[in-house]
Amino acid sequence: MENLKIRNIKTILTAPEGINLVVVKVETTDPEIYGVGCATFTQRYLTVQNAIEQYMKPLLVGKDVNSINDIWHSSIVSGYWRNGPVLNNALSGVDMALWDIKGKMAGMPLYELFGGKVREGAAVYRHADGGSVGQVEENVRAYMEQGYRYIRCQMGTYGGVGQSIVSPEGAPAGAYYDPKAYMKSIVGLFEHLRAQVGWDIELLHDIHERLTPIDAVNFAKKLEPFQLFFLEDALPPEQVEWFRLIRQHSSIPLAMGELFNNPNEWMPLITNRLIDYIRVHISQIGGITPARKLAALCDSFGVRTAWHGPGDTSPVGHAAHVHLDVSTINFGIQEWNGFNDAIREVFPGCPEVRNGYVYPNDKPGLGIDIDEKLAAKYPCENVLPTWTNARLPDGSPMTP
Ligand SMILES: O=C(O)[C@@H](O)[C@H](O)[C@H](O)CO
Ligand SMILES: [Mg+2]
C-alpha cells in the first residue's frame, strides 16, 4: 500500500473563551485520516495563519505523512532564518498534527507511541488571583475543595496591589505597575496564605519577568521561607545569566521558559543546572518533536518538565502536554487552565481533570478533534493586547 501523503493544510481560527486560538488541520490522501495541532500565538494569530497557508502548505503538500523527522528538520531551515516566533508556531501546529496522524495510523494514543505511561494521570496546578490577600485565600480554598493540591498565587494579576503610582507629566497610557509595591504585596500574600491555609498545600508564584535582575535575586530570597513549589519566570529571557546569582543566594526551586524559542536559550540553563523546571510553550518551540528531545535533555540533568499551559494554548495543545506528561519520567507538574463549556463543545475529547490529576483519553493519536462548524461560531477578534504595554511608574516600557 502506498504511504499516505499530505493532501491539504488548513488553519482554523476560533475563540470560544474569548482568547484567539490557532489550530492546524493536516488532511491526508485518505479522506478518513487527518491530524490536528496547536499553533496558537494569540497576540499575533493572523501572522501565524499567513505563515501556515502561504509557506507551510506549499512546502509540505505531497509529502509522506510518516516522515515527521524529515518534515520537521527540513521545514525549520526552509526559510533559512529560524527559531523565532510565528514560524515556530506554524511548525508546532503541523508537527502535532503529524504525530496525531501517526497515532491514528498506529491505532494507539500518543503516550503509547512515546513508550507508554509511567503515571496514570498528571498532577496539575491552578491559578488563583485576587485584589486582596483575603480574595486570593478564598480562591485558593475553592481550588483546594475541588481537589487541587498545587496552586499558583498571584495578586492584581502580575503587577501586585497597593500601588500609588506617581508618573511624570505627559506619561503615555499603559499597564502601569510599581515593582517595589509588587514585591511587598506578594511577600505579604504568602505570609497570609501560609498562616491561614497552612503548609500542606503546594504554592507557586509567577514573577512574569517584572523585576530588575537584582530585585529578582532579593525577592527570591524573601520568598524562600514560604517553601514554594516553584518560582516562575524570575528573569526575562534576555537576563538568564542572573539565574546563577539567584541560585547562589537561595534554594528556591526555579521554573523558566514560556517565552523561549531557541534551543540556545534553554541549553545553558539546563546543562548548568540553573533551573529546576522547564516551562516552554510547546505550541511555540516547534511542537512535540523538539519537546521530546528537550525532555530527554532535562532528564540527564535532573530538570523536570512543567509545560506552559495557559488559556492561550488550544485544547489540542493541552492534549499534547498530557500525552507527554504521563509518559515522561522527569515530568514535574502541568499548568492547567480549565475549559469552559463552549471550548469543550468545539474540541470533542478534551483531557479531563479529576481530583487534581489530568488524564488523557485512550483514543488513537492526540485523542482530540475540532468541530469546524462550531468553531466558526466563535470568531477571533483582531485587537491589540493592552496588558503587554507594561510600564514602570516613570512611564518607561517594561517587560510584561
Ligand atoms: O504562566 C502563565 O500562565 C502566564 O505567564 C501566561 O502564559 C501569560 O500571562 C500569557 O498568557
Ligand atoms: Mg508564566
pLDDT at residue 161, as a whole number: 83
> Out of 125, 158, 177, 182, which one is annotated catalytic?
158
pLDDT at residue 300, as a whole number: 98
Residue 147 DSSP SS3: coil
Atom of ligand 1 nearest to the CA of 42: 11
CA 281 / ligand 1 centre spacing (Å): 10
Pocket of ligand 1 (CB under 6 A): 206, 208, 258, 308, 310, 312, 335
**Could you confirm whether 158 is annotated as catalytic?**
yes
> In this predicted model, what pLDDT tens digit does every residue of 82-140 receive, in sequence order?
999 999 999 999 999 999 999 999 999 999 999 999 999 999 999 999 999 999 999 99
Q: Whose CA is nearest to atom 8 of ligand 1?
A: 310
pLDDT at residue 92, as a whole number: 98
CA 79 / ligand 2 centre spacing (Å): 29
> In this predicted model, what pLDDT tens digit does every residue of 214-261 receive, in sequence order?
999 999 999 999 999 999 999 999 999 999 999 999 999 999 999 999
pLDDT at residue 203, as a whole number: 98
> pTM, whole model, 2 decimals?
0.97
Distances (CA, A) of 347 to 62, 89, 293, 361, 370: 27, 20, 28, 13, 5
pLDDT at residue 1, as a whole number: 63
Distances (CA, A) of 7 to 25, 57, 66, 73, 78: 11, 9, 13, 20, 20
Q: Whose CA is nearest to atom 5 of ligand 1?
A: 208
Which of the residues in the chain have pLDDT under 70?
Answer: 1
Residue 45, CB-side half-sphere exposure with 13 Å CA sphere? 25
For ion ligand 2, residues whose CB falls within 5 Å: 206, 258
321 alpha carbon, distance to own chain's centre: 9
CA 103 / ligand 2 centre spacing (Å): 30
